[in-house]
Chain A
Amino acid sequence: MAAAPTSAFGTSRRSDLIFLVLFAAAVLTAPLWASLIGAGYPDLLQKWAIYGLFAIGFNILFGLTGYLSFGHAAFLGVGSYTAVWSFKLLGMNVLPAVFFAMITAAVFALAIGYISLRRSGIYFSILTLAFAQMSYNLAYSVLTPITNGETGLTVLPSDPRILEQLAGVRDTVSTPTTSLFGLEMTGYPGFYFCAVVLIIGFFVAMKIARSPFGTMLKAIKSNQTRMNYTGFNTRPYTLAAFIISGMYAGLAGALLASTDPLAGAERMQWTASGEVVLMTILGGAGTLLGPVLGAAVIKYFENIFSAFNDQVLMEMFNWLPETLQEAAVAVAGLFVGEGWHLTLGVVFMLIVIFLPGGIMEGIRRVQKLFRRSDGASRTDTASESA
């Protein structure tokens, strides 16, 4: 497994605070620096924040306790559906949607976690997978009255929206948009809303990791059998971690629905669950920042790499002589555009083979290298991933 995070979480409050402030600054200024790499547009920034949150939550379960859930996307989907239903029934304000999504996700997580956590290892993974697949299959077909199946659940002008009705502001003509007390949740305002939630989520995850509860979870990861032998019941702790993690996923689902009020069943498919596993490992499981980085990298691939077509490539390589240009385009074309999955697979294998601690381990290694060349003898105490 990726590095035990023991050393990671034993740092002082002061450095935690600095870390958090820096993280917040980096997130909030994302529209500026992301445009340098062609990612400075609201939708991708929103996705970064939302999937970062999803991965942070997943990491609370996987990174701290070592339980590998293969069905976390179910909570994301449940969160989205709940949020859209909240828009439809109550009104377009995002706060009730977020609230109910987290509650529903928690209820689902309690039920699924209660059953799944009776087993461990791959048995646990398969149980979570089974629940998520059942949710997906049913949502796509027989539960269509609730989920609107393939087409996905959307808001309609004719929805009841009771709160708005009571306030007498229900508009039954144009498609309603989500808002936070009048501030529309599309575009950059939507991103800033997600960003603030991400920062709060990051802060909470940090607090959990530093708390006695977090220590307990890490102890479970390092040796559950021994803990059980000492007469200690680990289940309530793992279940609590599972529920918290599910609530993060539900929250992420609600944010997806808030920035774009549509909930589809595909969000619950096992590949979506696999994606968050990939994000977490890619970034560095057990670290705070890693999952966010992993999520950002994967979403960047999905949206930017996939858009490189031959036309773009030809322009990129137009400094080459014509024959070479065509060859370069042909080779590069294998990995971008329709071949972006291939790149993802290759990168993923390379990371797991050479950098089991993910991007965070890479950063740490580079850092070490520089320190050594500086001749500094400072030891690496505050390392995020160990």
Chain B
Amino acid sequence: MDAFVLQMLNGLDKGGAYALIALGLTLIFGTLGVVNFAHGALFMLGAFCAVTIQKLLTLSKKVKDESITFFDAYKEIPYLETWFGDTGLVIIDYAVPISLLAAIPIMLIIGLIMERGLIRFFYNRSHAEQILVTFGLAIVLQELVKAIYGANPIPTPAPEVVAGSADLGILFGVPGTIVYPYWRLIYLFFSLAVIGGVFAFLQFTTFGMVVRAGMQDRETVGLLGIHVERRFTIVFGIAAVVAGLAGVMYTPILPPDYHIGMEFLVLSFVVVVVGGMGSLPGAVLAGFLLGILQSFASMNEVKSIIPGIDQIIIYLIAVIVLQVRPRGLLGRKGVMEG
């Protein structure tokens, strides 16, 4: 029972991460018709927003460490600590939530630059070329990050107050058995909130209505005299923000390194395809489904029956789903089949 609940939570948590990235990919694909292989890189850039903010907050005065004699070693005392004392330390402790706020404008700008500077020239080119140019961009972005921050993961812990675990067992009357980290619970609620927010935005605003209409039939909306392109540029920005926020929020769970985006890229494409290209609900559904199945496949009980199943479960599900439902779970006909 407790094992089941815990794996369910793990699955939802993972699913939330997958769904967030897949959602952005689908937004871009559905509106702009662009297959964005640089989406993983946006996730990575988001994570490195957090790293950068943390570095800025911990900018330090270097004091020579006399205890180490054989090379110049320094003790680092952050300026914030020297200036504000304990308040400064609290600010540093909250680096990740602060980054969350900072990442919104930063990622929006990065998204807009990317769209205006590169992506828009590829609207009318083949999907293969879109994949290739964005893949090239992803490599360039990650190599630049590596040149600045190195290849080693960088620890970016969550604030002290949420560093521990919550005892969810109390809710079920079995205290102590279902313990789950606060940050992962926060991540789950955060991803649900962002997903809900994006859906509400598309559903209930005029802007969203136009975007949805554009996803259905771009030309007609254009004919109505609505400037679709500008709105789509903004959609790209929003997708970049969503990916970036997912990245920031993920840093306490997974210390980021320059390659983190590529690792999510393949997975998120599988998620998008399983959900059905161009379908937002499909992306979310597939994200959670794959996350949950992956968690359960890793249980020792399952692995003892089918060894190695946890290694391939995602891909296996993708193959099965695409055999049964040719366009993924909720995909439409004719999208990305050419």
Query: Interface of A with B (CB < 8 Å)?
Result: 1, 68, 115, 118-123, 126-127, 129-131, 133-134, 137-138, 141-143, 270, 274, 277-278, 281, 334, 339, 341-342, 344-346, 348-349, 352-353, 356
Contact = CB atoms under 8 A, between A and B. Distances in A.
B127 interface: yes
Given A126-B318, A353-B121, A348 B136 contact: yes
Given A118-B326, A119-B322, A352-B129, A130 B315 contact: yes
A123 B136 contact: no
Nearest to B121: A353
Interface residues of B, number: 41
A274 B273 CA distance: 18
A308 to B, nearest CB: 16
Interface string B138-154: 11100110010000000
A131 B143 CA distance: 28
Nearest to A342: B143
Contact of B140 (A127, A131, A142, A349): A349
A348 B131 CA distance: 12
Given A341-B143, A348-B136, A119 B326 contact: yes
Contacts of A348: 132, 135-136, 139
A133 B273 contact: no
Contacts of B308: 137-138, 141-143
B74 to A, nearest CB: 24
Contacts of A138: 308, 311-312
A344 B129 CA distance: 16
A241 B128 CA distance: 19
A143 B307 CA distance: 10
Interface of B: 35, 118, 121, 125-129, 131-133, 135-140, 143-144, 147, 266, 269-270, 273, 277, 307-308, 311-312, 315-316, 318-319, 322-323, 326-328, 336-338
15 contacts: A1-B128, A68-B128, A120-B338, A121-B337, A122-B273, A123-B273, A126-B273, A129-B269, A133-B266, A133-B315, A134-B315, A137-B312, A138-B312, A141-B308, A339-B143
Contacts, number: 113
B70 to A, nearest CB: 25
Given A345-B137, A348-B136, A123 B128 contact: no
A55 B255 CA distance: 37
Contact of A131 (B315, B323, B337, B338): B315
A123 B135 contact: no
Nearest to B331: A123
Nearest to A133: B315
A128 to B, nearest CB: 10
B316 A345 contact: no
Contacts of A126: 269-270, 273, 318, 322
A243 B171 CA distance: 57
Contacts of B128: 1, 68, 281
B139 A356 contact: no
Nearest to A62: B128
Given A68-B128, A353-B118, 17 more contacts: A115-B319, A121-B127, A121-B338, A123-B273, A126-B318, A126-B322, A130-B270, A130-B315, A134-B316, A137-B312, A137-B315, A142-B308, A339-B143, A342-B139, A345-B138, A352-B129, A352-B132
A342 B322 contact: no
Contact of A345 (B126, B139, B307, B323): B139
A88 to B, nearest CB: 24
B319 A131 contact: yes
A289 to B, nearest CB: 20
Contacts of A352: 129, 132-133, 136
A342 B140 contact: yes
Contacts of A277: 132
Nearest to B147: A334
Contacts of A349: 133, 136-137, 140
B312 A133 contact: yes
Given A134-B316, A349-B133, A352-B132, A115 B323 contact: yes
Contacts of A339: 143, 147
